[in-house]
Amino acid sequence: MAYHYLDYNSLLTFCHSLFTSYGFTAQESESITDVLLAADLNGIESHGIQRIVRYDHEITTGLVSITAKPEIIFETPLSLVMDAHQCMGQLAAKQAMESAIQKAKLIGCGMVAVRNCNHYGIAGYYAEMAAKEDLLGICMTNTEAIMVPTHGRQPMLGTNPIALAMPADPVCFSFDCATTVVPRGKLEVYAKQEKPVPIGWGVDETGHDSEDAPQILQNIIQKSGGGILPLGGSEELTGGHKGYGLGMICELFTGILSGGLTSDRINRGLTEGTGICQSFIAIDYGMFGDKTVIRREFSDYLARIRSSDKAEGQTRIYTHGEKEAEMRLARRQNGIPANEKTMEEIRKIAANRFPLPREL
């Protein structure tokens, strides 16, 4: 499939115009655009502009409320529960992580759980918000059920990413991974590219392996059984129960602690909104001693790993966040890739209302 390479700055202008056109303020549109394009810049194509079509659908059908404001439901010096009232996920999420950061700066740690929210982009964006303030940041979200528990054939958990960012030099350690083998977005990319998915990623409605991305996605939407496997695969022998358990931890911190919905009750098809829940944690690692020493020791450890012996045939060991940092530099220069299907979606949504992003 042919790729178009879009100039970053004109894509920024395009997205900003698009979100403003729905009724978001200039500042809100800027926030949403920043999170959205962070995914493309980081090379996480699945969560970037290929999701514009989904956001457009959710906003124009009213699943995402343009006017709703997040409400604080419960608060202690350390914690906060927020009802997002189905506002745009990125907006509630940024506010939530800002609250967690504020609490961490005051008392050492802040934990914010958000309910009745929507898709918020990449979890790592919010964890990195804390890291930019020299704090340890953690972020999790549940999603519509997509993960089949070990020995099951009905999706009961979401993709459930866990993100953690910790300041380090020269590159921030930034981990952001679905607790499924792959996120749903990766199947969407395979479906758009009309490629079969590797065995071990997903199962059909009977619980058997499937290579058919559109079918797996269709089954998930229609809730007809089957879904994506937890990290570790379908068997306990390969640790499938571990990915399933990590997914449960995510449900606990998001759907349960927020008093919201668990993934099995989240439904994109409902008119009353998705009800996705999120969790935002900021920790001042100065609670454990001299921050300069801790940061240096961590940076040194990352450097030792990067320079450790490579497996035969391999030339480089990455630490988490390095690939994304390099990708950001490259994509600002060489453009953001968009496949033909995504380009079509963007053209349709733009519908001559705004100038399309400039191709390189």
Interaction residues for its own copies, span 334-353 (CB under 8 A): none
267 scored as a contact of its own copies (CB under 8 A) = no
3 scored as a contact of its own copies (CB under 8 A) = no
CB of residue 316 vs its own copies: minimum separation in angstroms?
7
The dihedrals phi and psi of 35, each to the nearest 5 degrees, come to -65, -45
* Residue with Cβ nearer its own copies (70 or 243): 243
The β-bridge relationship of strands 209-210 and 79-83 is unpaired
Rounded distance between C-alpha atoms, residue 91 and residue 287, angstroms:
29
**Candidate residues 249, 303, 350, 356; the one interacting with its own copies per rule CB under 8 A:** 249
* Residue with Cβ nearer its own copies (303 or 356): 303
Is residue 272 within 8 A of residue 261, CB to CB? The reply is no
Binding mask 298-337 for its own copies (x = CB under 8 A): x--x--xx--xxxxxxx-xxxxx-----------------
* Residue with Cβ nearer its own copies (39 or 147): 147
The β-bridge relationship of strands 79-83 and 109-117 is parallel
* Residue with Cβ nearer its own copies (314 or 333): 314
**Candidate residues 97, 113, 139, 220; the one interacting with its own copies per rule CB under 8 A:** 113
156 scored as a contact of its own copies (CB under 8 A) = yes
**Candidate residues 7, 56, 134, 264; the one interacting with its own copies per rule CB under 8 A:** 264
Rounded distance between C-alpha atoms, residue 240 and residue 228, angstroms:
12
CB of residue 47 vs its own copies: minimum separation in angstroms?
16
CB of residue 104 vs its own copies: minimum separation in angstroms?
10
CB of residue 289 vs its own copies: minimum separation in angstroms?
5
**Residue holding tokens 């740690």?**
109
* Residue with Cβ nearer its own copies (259 or 337): 259
359 scored as a contact of its own copies (CB under 8 A) = no
SS3 267: coil
Rounded distance between C-alpha atoms, residue 360 and residue 209, angstroms:
40
- CA 220 → CA 153, 171, 195, distances in Å? 11, 37, 18
Of 17-25, 123-131, 268-276, 282-290: span binding its own copies (CB under 8 A) = 282-290
* Residue with Cβ nearer its own copies (313 or 333): 313
Q: Left if phi > 0, otherwise alpha if psi is -120 to 50, otherwise beta: which for 289?
A: left
175 scored as a contact of its own copies (CB under 8 A) = yes
Interaction residues for its own copies, span 198-217 (CB under 8 A): 198, 200, 203, 206-208
139 scored as a contact of its own copies (CB under 8 A) = no
Exposed / middle / buried, residue 21 (Cβ in 10 Å: 0-12, 13-18, 19+): middle
Rounded distance between C-alpha atoms, residue 143 and residue 149, angstroms:
15
Rounded distance between C-alpha atoms, residue 111 and residue 293, angstroms:
25
164 scored as a contact of its own copies (CB under 8 A) = yes
Interaction residues for its own copies, span 62-91 (CB under 8 A): 73-74, 76-79, 81
Angle at 112 between CA 111 and CA 118, to 5 degrees: 145
